[in-house]
Amino acid sequence: MPAMGELFAVGSTVAHGRYRIVDVIGGGGMAQVYRARDERLARFVALKGVRGDLLHDSGWTTRFQREAQTMAGLSHPNIVAVHDTGEEQRPGAGGRSIPYLVMELVPGRSLADLLRERGKLPLAEALRLASQVLSALAAAHARGVVHRDIKPANILLTEDGAAKVTDFGIAAVADRTALTRTGTVVGTPHYMSPEQVEGRRDIDGRSDLYSVGVLLFHLLSGRVPFDADSAWSIGYAHLHTPPPTLASVGVIVPAPVESVLARALAKNPEDRHQDAAAMRAAIDVLVHGEDEQGTRSQGTSPFTLDDLFSQESRSSARPRPGVRRTPLVRLVLLVPVLLALGWTMRAMIVDSENVGTITLVSACAVAWTWLAFMRKAEPPPPGRPIGWVQLIAGVSVMFQGMMTLMGLVLLIAGG
C-alpha cells in the first residue's frame, strides 16, 4: 500500500502500462520520486508524482504542467532531462488527475548525500561543481527559467562526478506560497536570496547566483553562511547580516575565491554578477588556476632550474618587481657568457679531446645565462640594446646546452 502522500504503489503501472513503478527513490514536501521501468523503451527512468495531499489545490495541476513543459524545453548536459509528462487517475485522489514527470534516471547520488559523507570538498572539486551548476543555470536563464531552489539536494551527481541540476521550476511554485498561511518554509530557507525572502515578484536569474554563492560556501566550509533556529531568523540574516568570509570560519582560500563569494552573496542583485555566464567565467578562471597548481604539486610540470632553489632563494635572487637592470649592468653580466662561448668554440677546435672540461664549462655557462637573463620573473626590459642581449643569451643557452648534452653522451659512451 502507498504511504501517506503517495499515490503510486510499487508494482503498479502508469500511462496505460508503459511505466512500471519499481521502488521509491525519495521524496519531499511536494512530490515523491520513483524508479520506474519504461516498458516500451526497455530502460529505467525516474518518475516524479505530486503528493496526494497537495491535490486539494485546484491550481496545482495547471502550475505543475506548465513547469513540466518548461523543464522539457531545457536541454543541457548539466540538467536532468525530462522525457515525458502526463496525468494519471488513481484511487484515493478524490477523482482528481495526478500530474507526473518522467525524467532521466541519474545513477549516483545527490550533492547533499556527498556533503553528509565528506563534510566539505577540496577547492578544485567545489569550483568545478559550481561551474557546472552555473552552466546549467545559464542555459535555463536564456529560456527565461529561474530555478529559485538551488541547493545540494537538487543537484544530482553522475557516477563520474558530473553535476546535473533537477527540480527546475517546481520549487519556484512552492516558494511563492512558502511563507504564507502556516508561516513555514517549503524546502530549505538557507539558500534563499534576499529578494526571495522579501517575496518580490521581479526575481530574475541573479537570485539563483546568490544561491550558488551559498552552495559554494557550503561546499568549501561544510556549513551554510547563515543558520538559526527558525526560517524567519535565517531570512532576516539573508536580508541584513553581512555574509561571513571563508577565512572567518577557518577555511583559507586564495583571495580571488573570497572575492567571487562576496560578490555572489551581495544583498543587492545589482552588486552580483549580472548573469550566470559571467559568474561561471570568473569561477572557471579559478578552476584553471587550481588545475595548474594541482599539476605542479603532482610533479608533472616541466622541470626548470628554478626547481633547484627554495622559494625564499628564488625571491631574493630575482630582481624586485618593477625594477629593471640598466643596459650597462646587463652587458657586464653578458661578459661571462661571451667568454664561455668563445672558450668552448676554441676548445672544440684546439683541444677537442678534453671532453670533460668542455662539458663542465658548457653546463656552467647554461646555468649562468639562465639565471642572469632568462628567469621568467624578471620584467621585460625596453630598448634595442637589451633586446640584442636577450638574443645573444638565448643563442648561448641553446649552443651550450647542446654541447653539454653531447659531452655527457661522449663521457658515458667512453666510460
Domains of the chain and any CATH numbers: 13-104 (3.30.200.20), 109-297 (1.10.510.10), 312-414 (no CATH)
Three-state SS for 371?
helix
Q: So what's the pLDDT on residue 184?
A: 36
Three-state SS for 133?
helix
Q: So what's the pLDDT on residue 398?
A: 76
Phi/psi at 273 (5° precision): -60, 145
- Spacing of C-alpha 233 from chain mean position: 30
348: amino acid identity, one letter: M
Place of cell 542583485: 269
Grid cell in block for residue 302: 616541466
Residues marked active site are found at 149
DSSP 53: G
Q: So what's the pLDDT on residue 369?
A: 72
Per-residue pLDDT of the chain (415 residues; tens, 9 = 90+): 444 345 688 899 999 999 999 999 887 667 789 999 999 999 999 998 877 776 777 666 666 777 777 778 889 999 999 999 888 876 666 667 788 889 999 988 999 999 999 999 999 999 999 999 999 999 999 988 899 899 999 999 999 999 999 887 554 443 444 333 334 343 479 999 999 999 888 889 999 999 999 999 999 999 999 999 999 999 999 999 999 999 999 999 999 999 999 999 999 999 999 999 999 999 999 988 766 665 555 554 444 444 434 444 444 344 444 444 566 666 666 677 777 767 676 666 666 556 677 777 777 777 767 666 655 444 444 444 445 666 676 777 677 677 777 777 766 776 5
- The helices-and-strands tally (H runs, E runs) of the chain is 13, 9
How many other CB atoms are there within 10 angstroms of residue 195's CB atom?
Answer: 20
Please give the C-alpha separations between residue 246 and each of 132, 217, 238, 415, in angstroms, as whole numbers: 21, 7, 17, 60
Q: List the one residue out of 185, 173, 175 whose CA is nearest residue 70.
A: 173
How many other CB atoms are there within 10 angstroms of residue 177's CB atom?
Answer: 11
Grid cell in block for residue 367: 646555468
The answer on whether 267 is annotated among ligand-binding residues is no
